[in-house]
Amino acid sequence: MHGPYTEAHELFRAQVRTFAEKELRPHVDAWERDELFPRWVFERAGALGILGAHYPEDVGGGGGDFWFSVAKSEELPRCGASGVTMGLLVQSDMATPVIADLGTREQKEEFLRPALEGKRIAALGVSEPEAGSDVAAMRTVARKVGGDWVVRGSKTYITNGTRADFITLLVKTDPDAGHAGISILLFPTDVKGFSVGKKLPKAGNWSSDTAELFFDDCRVPERCLLGEPGRGFYYLMQNFQSERLIGCTSALAGSRYALERSVEYGRQRVAFGKPILKRDYWQQKFAELYTKYEAAHALTYRAADAYNREKYVARAGISLDTARLVSMAKAFVGDVTGEIIDQCLQFHGGMGYIEEGWVARAWRDQRLFRIGGGTTEVMRYAIAKLLGL
Indicate which residues carry an active-site annotation: 243
Interhelix angle for 320-348 vs 232-268, to 10°? 30
The three-state DSSP-derived secondary structure of 199-243 is ECCCCCCCCCCEEEEEEEEEEEEHHHEECCCCCHHHHHHHHHHHH
Q: Is 158 helix (H, G, I), strand (E, B) or coil?
A: strand
- Give the residue among 89, 102, 43, 69 at the shortest CA–CA distance from 228: 102
d(Cα 143, Cα 123) in Å, to the nearest integer? Answer: 22
Cα separation of 377 and 133, whole Å? 10
Rounded Cα distance between 42 and 44, Å, is 6
H-state helical runs in 48-177:
66-75, 82-89, 97-102, 105-107, 113-116
Element (DSSP H or E) covering residue 154 = strand 148-159
Q: Are 307 and 318 in contact (CB under 8 A)?
A: yes
Residue 229, φ and ψ in degrees, nearest 5: -65, 145
Residues 20 and 17: their CA atoms lie apart, in Å, by: 5
